[in-house]
Amino acid sequence: MASVDYSGPLTPTGNLRRRRVVDRLARGSATAAAVLAVAILLIFIYSIVQHGASVISLSFLTKNPLETFSVSGNAPVGGIGNAIVGSLLIVAIGTAIALPIGVLIALFLTEFASPRWAGPVRLALDLLYGLPSIVIALFLYGLLVVGHGQAGVYASLALAIIMVPLIARTTGESLGLVPKELRDASLALGISRWRTTVGLTIPSAFGGIVTGTVLAVARAAGETAPVLLLSSLANPTQTSGSVFSQPLNNLPYDIYNFSVEGGATNFAKAWGAALVLVTFVLVANFTARALHARSRRMMSR
């Protein structure tokens, strides 16, 4: 910096030109990376719709895998009726277990726990969140299936373990957004803590709770590892057995099974089931996003 020629004109030197080129290259490649990610998503959706749309029919959605309903053209034999029913049952029971536990844990962390007790609970939640679903499946497989056989409700338990940290986290976040003054005002009026919590805090955070639950349901519906280990040996002609004593067929397992068995007919059925599943997952995600935006607006008002 010692000898700067101040009399020179203020035009870019060769160095600045090089810096500008580097700048443009770097920004260009970052933009390209973002375009690539969006392109991958669009390619996924395009592939699923392209292969799956022609398979979808009323009988595909309602018949069971081994029931013959059509022999004309390339139409596959058998449908995914019992898989849709099984998935609905398994996910519904899982949600019924996970929702109260997740919300209660979030309440414990935000309303009741001293830092000393919140620490271990937070750690447990974080570790549960980080557990791969196959490990949770293996845990329940060793605990329940070995010696007893599979059941749909075991898969629900696995999904509940996956969903609890998701629900607890989003609920905790929206409980944290409820102004402290609101609670203090209620307590100062002599209203007890539980009435304040049930009547004021939870309703204020309701949007966040619903958002978290919808996202958790979307995530759980596509989980394949738990159903593969815990609810995969279903009777393919049966529409629905008892969820508590028998394995139920379900969408992720159908997709997995058809895809590894291979062959044009199986792939067609896998794509059809994938289209149903991905439609549900995407609709759930958009719903959650819309709910989230709406509750944010209500909160900030």
Provide, rounded to whole angstroms, the least separation between the CB of residue 72 and other proteins: 23
Rounded Cα distance, 196 and 187, in Å: 7
Provide, rounded to whole angstroms, the least separation between the CB of residue 68 and other proteins: 24
Subset of 31-50 contacting other proteins (CB under 8 A): 31, 33-34, 36-38, 40-41, 43-44, 47-48
Rounded Cα distance, 52 and 275, in Å: 6
Provide, rounded to whole angstroms, the least separation between the CB of residue 251 and other proteins: 9
Does 216 bind other proteins (CB under 8 A)? Our answer is: no
Nearest to 271 by CA among 45, 100, 10, 103: 45
Subset of 84-113 contacting other proteins (CB under 8 A): 100-102, 104-105, 107-109, 111-113
Distance (Å) of CA 296 to CA 158, 203, 211, 270: 31, 14, 11, 38
Residue the block writes with tokens 């940290």: 165
Q: Which of 271, 272, 291, 295 binds other proteins (CB under 8 A)?
A: 271
Cα-Cα end-to-end distance for the chain: 54
Rounded Cα distance, 31 and 133, in Å: 33
Nearer to other proteins, 85 or 277 (CB): 277
The residue range among 86-94, 157-165, 178-186, 237-245 that interacts with other proteins, by the rule CB under 8 A, is 157-165
Does 10 bind other proteins (CB under 8 A)? Our answer is: no
The residue range among 3-11, 81-89, 128-136, 180-188 that interacts with other proteins, by the rule CB under 8 A, is 128-136
Does 218 bind other proteins (CB under 8 A)? Our answer is: yes
Rounded Cα distance, 149 and 233, in Å: 9
Subset of 186-215 contacting other proteins (CB under 8 A): 190, 192-195, 197-198
How crowded is the C-beta side of 151, counted as CA atoms within 13 Å? 17
Q: What is the dihedral of CA 127, 90, 278, 100, to 10 degrees?
A: -50
Rounded Cα distance, 21 and 41, in Å: 31
The residue range among 3-11, 178-186, 203-211, 228-236 that interacts with other proteins, by the rule CB under 8 A, is 228-236
Subset of 135-154 contacting other proteins (CB under 8 A): 135-139, 141-143, 146
Radius of gyration of the chain (CA): 26
The residue range among 61-69, 70-78, 129-137, 237-245 that interacts with other proteins, by the rule CB under 8 A, is 129-137
